[in-house]
């Protein structure tokens, strides 16, 4: 599996496994930020973004993964660490993608360095929150795929005699979800020097649409996590 090969190449498999196991036991974490900005984690994030075909699509700054490839590994690591000292993500480019039913959905395209920063955070936070997820959910999770879901369905048909499938889709979920309730979900336990929270305060960040720009109010994602000491 490519993901595991990449983890092994940058010697992060043991780190992620350890985070998952400790989270499963209710461990109180410290020094997560050190793991996030570690050289190995940043370079892994770069490789993961590089393998995504969307990395060829420029954000509002016009840069793509090809621009990042021009940097040496040391320069890339230093660039990301420097930006995180006083981090402000750049404007997100807005595009509209046509759906199969003829309707359109909005797509936000972050600048490439912001994407690498987001991926760096995601890689460290993911094994922690993964330990709390239902073991039989398979969508958009690491080391899981539709094949695992199909295998589970086949098992339930053959062993549990289940023969009905309920297909449910929440229309425009992220547009309509109650963000206040979402923010009320208890975060993973954390230590003194780590991420304090995903910023609850709504921000006004410019999003470029065509040749114009407008402001939308929304919760910042992993890229806008803030750091502080938790008392």
One DSSP character per residue, 162-204 reads: ---------TTHHHHS-HHHHHTSPPPPB-SEEEEE---S-EE
Predicted pLDDT at 226: 32
Predicted pLDDT at 228: 31
Cβ partners under 8 Å of residue 171, min gap 6: none
pLDDT digits (tens, 9 = 90+) for 142-198: 888 889 999 998 999 899 888 888 888 777 777 778 877 776 665 555 444 444 433
Q: What average pLDDT does range 49-76 have in this prediction?
A: 95
Predicted pLDDT at 185: 61
pLDDT digits (tens, 9 = 90+) for 1-22: 678 888 888 889 999 999 999 9
Q: How far apart are the first and last CA of the chain?
A: 41
Q: What average pLDDT does range 114-142 have in this prediction?
A: 90
């Amino acid at each position: 599996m490519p993901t595991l090969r990449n983890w092994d190449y940058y010697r992060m498999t043991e780190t992620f496994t350890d985070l998952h196991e400790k989270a499963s036991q209710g461990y109180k974490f410290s020094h997560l930020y050190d793991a996030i900005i570690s050289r190995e984690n940043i370079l892994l994030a770069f490789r993961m973004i590089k393998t995504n075909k969307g990395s060829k699509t420029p954000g509002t700054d016009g840069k793509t993964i090809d621009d990042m490839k021009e940097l040496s590994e040391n320069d890339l690591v230093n660039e990301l660490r420097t930006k995180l000292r006083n981090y402000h993500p750049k404007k997100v480019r807005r595009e509209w993608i046509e759906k199969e039913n003829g309707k359109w959905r909005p797509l936000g395209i972050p600048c490439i360095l912001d994407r690498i920063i987001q991926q760096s955070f995601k890689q460290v936070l993911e094994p922690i929150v993964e330990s709390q997820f239902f073991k039989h959910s398979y969508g958009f999770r690491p080391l899981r795929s539709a094949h695992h879901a199909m295998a589970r369905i086949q098992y339930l048909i053959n062993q549990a005699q289940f023969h009905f499938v309920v297909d449910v889709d929440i229309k425009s979920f992220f547009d309509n979800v109650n963000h206040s309730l979402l923010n009320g979900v208890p975060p993973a336990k954390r230590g003194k020097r780590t991420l304090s929270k995903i910023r609850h305060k709504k921000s006004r960040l410019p999003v470029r649409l065509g040749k114009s720009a407008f402001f939308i109010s929304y919760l910042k994602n992993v890229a806008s996590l803030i750091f502080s000491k938790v008392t």
